[in-house]
Structure 1
C-alpha cells in the first residue's frame, strides 16, 4: 500500500462556545471522534482550531486517508473545505498521533507574526506557510493538553505546574513530614 499526506482548511459552522477544559466543546468532540477513527485506520496527523477556522493534516495509507477525507467533506460542522496538500508520502512524519491537537497558541501567534498575517486563515496559506504550519503541529510538545488558540494569556504568562489544591496538599504533606522528623529527632 502507498502512503499519502493531506492537509486542508475549513470554516466552522458552529458558534464557538466558552472553552471547557482548555478546548472549545465542539472541537473536543471532533478530537475524540477523530482519535478513535484515525487509530482504527492507522492514520496520524494534527488539528488546529482558531479564528473559527480549522487546519488539519493527515497521513497514512492512501485508501484510509481518502476514506477519512470523504467523511470530513460530509461533516456539517464545517464548510468551505480547501485542500492545501494532497500528495504521496514515502515515510510517516508523525510518530504516534492518531490526531494531535496543537495547544501552542503562542507558537501559532509567533508563526502568524513571522508571516505578516493578522489572523489565522489557513485557506489562504501559501505552500511554504502550509509546510511551516505542519511543522509547528508536528513539533508541538505538550502531549494531549488542550489549549484554545483564542486563549487570552499573553506571551509572558506561564501556566502553573500545580493546581491550588495540589499545592495545599504538598505543603500539608511537607509539614507532616517535618513534624515527624522533629518528633523522631527529639526521641534520640
Structure 2
C-alpha cells in the first residue's frame, strides 16, 4: 500500500448561513460526510474553513486519497479548486482523525499575521505556508469542536455569556417580576 498526502484550497459556492450548533450548516454537512467516508477509506486529515474558503489536508492510501479528491472536484459546493500538495509519504502524520476541523483560533490568526496576510486565502499559499497550515491543523487543540469561522468577530473579542435571545428572555422575565411585585405591593 502506498501512502500519499494531498492538500487543496477551494472557494465555497454556498452563501454562509447563520451558525447552528457552532458551525455553518453547509460545513457541518461536509464534515459529517467527510468523517464517515474518510473513516471507511482509512483517510486522515484536517479541514479549515474561513473567509468562504477551504483548506483541506488528506493522508492515506493513494487510491483512497485520489477517489476522495475526485469526489471533491465534482462537488458543487466547491469551485476554483487548487491542488497545493500532492506527494507520497512514508508514514501517517495525523493519527485517529477521520477529518479534524479547526475553527478560527489564535493560532490561525497568529499564522496569518506572521505571514502578513489580511485574509484567509489558501489558494495563494506558498509551499512553506501550506506546511505551516498543516502543522497548525495537526497540533490544534480544539478536539473536533464544530465552531464556525466568524469573520465579523475577531479572536480578541470576549465571548458573550448569554445569547441575544436569552438576554431578551431574562429582561422580559425581570420586567414581569417587577410588575408582579408592584401589583402585589399596591394590593397591601
> Does the pair score TM above 0.5?
yes
Could you say if the C-alpha distance between residues 92 and 159 of structure 1 is closer, same or farther in structure 2, counting changes exceeding 3 Å? farther
* DSSP 3-state at the match of 1:88: strand
Alignment length (residue pairs) = 160
TM-score by length of 1: 0.81
1:4 aligns with 2:8: no
Matched, 1:150 2:150: yes
Partner of 2:62: 62
Distance 2:53 2:157 in 1: 25
Structure 1 counterpart of 2:170:
none
Counterpart-to-counterpart distance in 1, 2:20 and 2:102: 16
Shift, 1:139, TM fit: 0.4
Partner residue, 2:23:
23
2:9–2:55 contact (8 Å) kept in structure 1? yes
Flag structure 1 segments of 5+ consecutive residues without an equivalent.
161-188
* CA–CA separation in structure 2 for the residues paired with 1:117 and 1:81: 20
Task: Name the CA distance, whole Å, in 2 between partners of 1:77 and 1:6.
Answer: 19
SS of match in other structure, 2:134: helix
For residues 83 and 122 of structure 1, what CA distance do their matches in structure 2 show? 10
In structure 2, the residue matched to 1:38 is: 38
Unaligned runs of 5+ in 2: 162-188
The runs of at least 4 aligned residues of structure 1 exceeding 4 Å deviation read: none
Alignment RMSD (CA, Å):
1.5
Find the aligned partners of 1:155 and 1:55 in 2 and give their Cα distance.
23
Q: CA deviation at 1:153?
A: 4.9
1:67-112 Cα offsets, whole Å, 9 max, x none, are 1000110000010000000000000000100000002422211110
Distance 2:146 2:38 in 1: 18
